[in-house]
Amino acid sequence: MCEFVCRSIRVQVRTTASFTREVEGGVQRVVGYFQTTPELINSSTNLDVDGIRSSLHSQVENFKARGSGFTIDIILEFTIVITKYRQLHRRSYIPSLKWPKNKHCVVNVRNEDEKCFLWAVLSCLHEPSRNKEHTNHYKPHLTSLKVSGIDFPMSPKQIPVFEEQNPEISINLYAVDPENTELAFIIEYLSSHKERQLHVNLLLFEEPETGKSHYTWIRDMSRLVAHRTNHSGKTYVCNSCLHPFTTKKAHDNHLSYCQSHPSQQVKYPDPADNILRFKSIHKQHPVPFYLVCDFESFLTHRIPSTTTRQMTSTRVAAGSARLTNIGLADSAVTVSRHTPNIRPRRHCTEEPTT
Ligand SMILES: [Zn+2]
């Protein structure tokens, strides 16, 4: 068992800055809004402060390039938005490691030391036909893995170090959220090495009582997420989003799209709470009246010019509507619609499309 806690959050930086420049007769002032791409932070990935700084810097430079002579006057706002990363999917409660054992999808090596990461990797690379939980099968191969500079119990942050020293192996690490009352998987680490000869999917468990974590090997990803589909046979599971596909072709077609984006899940609103309402009534400002006008028109047949390459169309009014509300409290609403006789309003010209 290893003692560390794994959590996933997303971090985004938003900032507002005031820019000024000298113009004839005074100083022109404009406000710029900037934000970074949400960054996934978990037990295997640190916050990339340099990346955030670089992103904001390039955005500011782009902003300044749009209007010559602007310089930053003052930072008006600097906000770090931290949100809990959404679980990939969830279902029933996990009381213990009995759950994956019953699904026959995970190999949980019974180690007595703190090297469960290595045992889990070896159980994949040297899978025996039976008694897969016994370390005796894997002890002869223990020295084949290079672990220079890695501390045990091994943190997910050290997986890239492990991959660097073992260039034929790639690792993906998934975890079960112990605080959730439903079965929830999150991605702790997704290897950037997609073409390596040996790939290992690991599942990290945490004991809520002790806070200890434990690496296991996901022997059968299809069974792991079998409850996500009504398909009764084997499925082909995407490692990036854990979506099961019934055919290999559908899976392969999906990969190029999925791997170009961060892991994500589509979550629809609860049917009992799926209506968006305006709630900030107190932020409204009373106005003496308001007027809303709408006009519709369409273009008639295009007529080519005999002297130029231009086409001429006639824009014809199709209708208009006006809504006037005099006094919010009075609720005196006047609506009028008008559909004129079709007649030319104005001409417009455009280049021929052919
Ligand atoms: Zn996917």
- d(CA 185, ligand 1 centre) in Å: 14
Q: What is the pTM for the complete model shown? A: 0.53
Distance 202 CA to ligand 1 centre (A): 17
- pLDDT reading at 109 higher than 90: no
**One domain for residues 127 and 206:** yes
32 with 134, same domain? no
**Statement to judge: residues 100 and 199 lie in one domain:** yes
Task: Give residue 201 CA to ligand 1 midpoint distance, Å.
Answer: 15
Of 52, 84, 116, which marks where a domain is finished?
A: 84
3-class state of residue 221 by DSSP: helix
Q: How far apart are CA 170 and CA 213, in angstroms?
A: 21
Q: Which of 34, 6, 30, 9 is nearest to 19 (CA)?
A: 30
> How many angstroms does the Cα of residue 73 sit away from the middle of ligand 1?
44
Q: What is the pLDDT of residues 307-350, one digit of tens each?
A: 777 777 888 887 888 877 765 544 445 556 665 554 444 444 44
Do 231 and 111 lie in one domain? The reply is yes
pLDDT at 292 over 70: yes
Tens of pLDDT along 116-170? 899 999 999 998 888 888 888 999 999 999 999 888 888 888 899 999 999 999 9
Residues 10 and 59 reside in one and the same domain: yes
- Is 264 a member of any domain? no
Is the pLDDT at 69 greater than 90? The verdict is no
Whether the Cβ atoms of residue 42 and residue 7 lie closer than 8 Å to each other: yes
Ion ligand 1: protein residues whose beta carbon lies under 5 Å = 238, 240-241, 258
pLDDT at 262: 65
**Continuous segment of H or E residues that includes residue 28:** strand 26-35
| Cα of 256 from ligand 1 centre, angstroms | 9
Residue 332 Cα to ligand 1 middle (Å): 54
Q: Does residue 275 fall inside a structural domain? A: no
Same domain, 107 and 37: no
Residues 291 and 243 in one domain: no
pLDDT reported for residue 118: 92
Q: pLDDT tens digits for 57-67?
A: 888 888 877 66
Q: Are residues 289 and 344 in the same domain?
A: yes
In-domain check, residue 274? no
| Ligand 1: centre distance to CA 232 (Å) | 20
pLDDT at 141: 92
Distance between CA atoms of 42 and 40, rounded to whole angstroms?
7
Q: Write out the two tokens for 63.
A: 């902003």
CA distance 333 to 338: 17
Single out the residue in 84, 116, 141 at which a domain terminates.
84
* Euclidean distance between CA atoms 237 and 99, whole angstroms: 19
**Cα 101 to ligand 1 centre (Å):** 25
Do 225 and 93 fall within a single domain? yes
Residue 214 lies in a domain: yes
For the residues 250-258, what does the mean pLDDT come to?
86
The chain-wide mean pLDDT, for the chain, equals: 77
94 and 236 assigned to the same domain: yes
User: In angstroms, what is the span from residue 148 Cα to ligand 1's centroid?
Assistant: 33
User: Is residue 44 domain-shared with residue 94, that is, in the same domain?
Assistant: no
Domain range for residue 310? 285-350
The token duo for 185 is: 């998987």
Q: For residue 279, is it within any domain?
A: no
Residues 155 and 251: their CA atoms lie apart, in Å, by 31
Q: Which of residues 240, 258, 276 is at a domain's end? A: 258
Res 88 pLDDT > 50: no
CA distance 122 to 124: 5
Give the count of domains, the chain: 3
Task: Kindly report, residue by residue over 6-40, the tens digit of the pLDDT.
Answer: 456 778 899 988 888 887 777 888 888 888 887 87
pLDDT at 160: 92
Please state the rounded mean pLDDT for residues 235-248: 87
For the cut 90, the answer to whether the pLDDT of residue 51 exceeds it is: no
Q: Is residue 169 part of a domain?
A: yes
Q: How far is the CA of 192 from the centre of ligand 1 (A)?
A: 15
- Taking the centre of ligand 1 as the mean of its atom positions, its distance from the CA of residue 264, in whole angstroms, is 8
- Same domain? For 226 and 147 the reply is yes
What 3-state class would DSSP assign to 244?
strand
